[in-house]
Structure 1
Amino acid sequence: MFFGEKIKREREKRGWSQEDLAEKIYVSRQSISKWETGKNYPSIEVIINLSDLFDITIDELLRSDDELKEQVIQDSKQKLGWKSYIMFGLGILIGILIVSTIRHGGINWISIGRATGVTTLLFLTYFLLRKGIRRVEQKG
């Protein structure tokens, strides 16, 4: 049984409409409809909420739906990449701030501006590359 069928079965077992379920997990009724028809999938956070709400394991929700499992894996990879770049950028800025303060006895705003510019370029490069990779994956 696929994810959408499981959601619908669990919802109907409780006598809830799509609107009822949507209100309980703070999404739109249209989202519920798209999940049940297989047109879209929820985020991992919503899957966890559904698991708790229906009192079934996440494994039971995901196990037989290969497409959903792949989507969850891809979402988690993207989020990890984003967090890594944020930490990297903050590390650069903090490092420049510390070195600047020690070296000049105060904040060197030019160095901080340069670090901010480099960090911004790294972020933009990352996102443009990710977008290009996703387009290639979708075509292939």
Structure 2
Amino acid sequence: MIFAEKLKKERKERGWSQEELAEKLFVSRQSVSKWENGQNYPSIEIIIKLSDLFGVTIDELLRSDEDLTEKVIKDSRQLAYPRLKVFFDCLFLIGSAMLIIKLSILGLNHFTELEFPLRGSFFWNFGPLFLMLGGAIFSDTLKKKYKNE
């Protein structure tokens, strides 16, 4: 039994209209109608709520429809992807900021009588490079990986 049929069967067994089910899930009646007609699938949050409402396992709902299972897997990957990409983008930005700070200090040292010691520091010499390269490479790798999937 596919998800749409299972949803409709469970709803009718409880004597609920599409409107009543929609109110319980805090969605529109049109959403419930689309799910029951197989035109669309609910999010994982709604699937969990449906599982609780109908007293069935999430597995029973998901395994009934391969397309829904694929959608949930794809959605879960999309949730993980932005977090990792943001992390690597932040590493790149931190490296950029460090490079700007270093260049500013070197400029001050050169054009003014101020002397800020940076030259002997491994951190200031190679830190921005490692952060920028690492952040850019891993961010691009993630982008390509999730674009292909």
Q: TM-score, normalised by structure 2?
A: 0.64
Distance in 2, matches of 1:16 and 1:91, equals: 51
Pair member with larger Rg: 2
Number of residues paired by the alignment?
117
Partner of 2:23 in structure 1? Answer: 23
Structure 1 residues 94, 24: closer, same or farther in 2, change over 3 A? Answer: farther
1:45 Cα offset (Å): 1.3
Partner of 1:73 in structure 2? Answer: 73
Partner of 2:123 in structure 1? Answer: none
Partner of 2:63 in structure 1? Answer: 63
Alignment of 1:120-139 (within 5 A): 126=143, 130=147, 133=148
1:100 Cα offset (Å): 6.6
1:4 Cα offset (Å): 0.8
Alignment of 1:2-41 (within 5 A): 2-41=2-41
Partner of 1:137 in structure 2? Answer: none
Q: Deviations over 1:91-125 (max 9, x none)?
A: 4335555x4798559xxxxx9xxx8xx98xx68x9
Higher relative contact order (CA 8 A, sep 6+): 2
1:87 Cα offset (Å): 2.1
Q: Deviations over 1:57-85 (max 9, x none)?
A: 00011112111111111111122112211
Q: TM-score, normalised by structure 1?
A: 0.68
Distance in 1, matches of 2:13 and 2:69, equals: 24
The residue type equivalent to 1:76 in the other structure is S
Structure 2 alignment gaps of length 5 or more: 106-115, 117-127
Identical residues among aligned pairs (%): 52
Distance in 2, matches of 1:20 and 1:50, equals: 13
